[in-house]
Structure 1
Amino acid sequence: MNSPASDQERILFLLKELCNQFGPKFERNTNMSLSRFELLHQLYQEDEVNQSSLQKSVNIDNAAVTRHLKQLESQGMVTRRRNPSDHRETFVSLTKEGREQILSCSTEKRCFVNQMLQDFSPEELDTLTDMLMRIQQNISRY
């Protein structure tokens, strides 16, 4: 006979299920993956950034960032250029179309987040944020 999962195991499985649901539903609502949104959002904050700094700030592996940026560049949302004094370094910036896309997507993202967190009080949101940050810190120390 199987024993019931502990509360801690239940939390682990709930978090896993949330991760499995979150990405596809976010993408369906915004027409953009969360990774791409995060890249564009980060670029929106700065005029131009080198690709390795961008990769570190969004915490996505280098190959995935390169793949995303190539696709975004082919869609006209970002431009990339080599540093003339160090050809190993690539600078990335948003195009006008990229800026418009992130603004449009931000509205859809807000609607998604509002729906996801409806019926939570401000105090509950503060507590949830604190708990998730503690989980993140615990995992990073593991």
Structure 2
Amino acid sequence: MSNTCSTHLQIFYQLQTLNKNLACKFESCLGSSPSRIEILQQLYRNQEISQKELQKMVKIDNAAVTRHLKQLEAANMVTRRKKADDNRITLVCLTEDGRNAIRESLQEKEQFIAQTFKDFSEEELQIFLEMLSKIGANIASVEIKISK
């Protein structure tokens, strides 16, 4: 029992450490956080979308999306405007600078991913993906207790 618990803890801490290292290396290699790259990629795939739709696609909180978009707008990567027939809706799209930046980052992202998984066989990657999916499903099923 304690050996299994110890193994579970080792895996848990290893996953946490890998997640931190992955995000840090990713950001230093691509010059942006994974969240910001995901925002740019979603905008690249869509001509113009509402900020609310974008937030749902990237699955980060609205305040974080707003922060990212303000910084991207200041860097001339995106434009935001109110929808003509509904001022409550903010529409977002990439500028030409943003499109160029995301094209470059897509190549860098592919190289980063290839380097990360370079010593894995296709079979190992498939098994790893299945394990990660199981972990994801288990995490999703965890009930959160709210203390009052």
Question: TM-score w.r.t. structure 1 length?
Answer: 0.93
User: How far does the alpha carbon of each residue in 1:7-35 deviate from its partner, in whole angstroms, 9 at most, with x for none?
Assistant: 21111001100111111110111111111
Residue 40 (structure 1) aligned with residue 43 (structure 2) = no
User: How far does the alpha carbon of each residue in 1:51-92 deviate from its partner, in whole angstroms, 9 at most, with x for none?
Assistant: 111101111110000000010011111111111222111111
* One-letter identity of the residue aligned with 1:24: C
Aligned residue number for residue 20 of structure 2: 20
Aligned residue number for residue 60 of structure 1: 60
Task: Give me the whole-angstrom Cα distance separating, in 1, the residues matched to 2:37 and 2:138.
Answer: 26
1:99-138 correspondence runs (5 A): 99-138=99-138
**Offset of residue 141 of structure 1:** 2.1
Aligned residue number for residue 98 of structure 2: 98
* One-letter identity of the residue aligned with 2:90: T
> Secondary structure of the equivalent of 2:118?
coil
Aligned residue number for residue 31 of structure 2: 31
**Offset of residue 110 of structure 1:** 1.1
Task: Give me the whole-angstrom Cα distance separating, in 1, the residues matched to 2:139 and 2:9.
Answer: 15
Gap regions ≥5 residues in structure 2: 143-148
> Secondary structure of the equivalent of 1:87?
strand
RMSD over aligned Cα atoms: 1.3
Which 4+ runs in 1 deviate beyond 6 A?
Answer: none
Task: Give me the whole-angstrom Cα distance separating, in 2, the residues matched to 1:111 and 1:58.
Answer: 22
> Number of residue pairs matched?
140
Task: Give me the whole-angstrom Cα distance separating, in 2, the residues matched to 1:133 and 1:90.
Answer: 34
The alignment-based identity, stated in percent, is 46
User: How far does the alpha carbon of each residue in 1:97-118 deviate from its partner, in whole angstroms, 9 at most, with x for none?
Assistant: 1111011011111111111111
> Secondary structure of the equivalent of 1:6?
helix
Gap regions ≥5 residues in structure 1: none
* One-letter identity of the residue aligned with 1:139: I
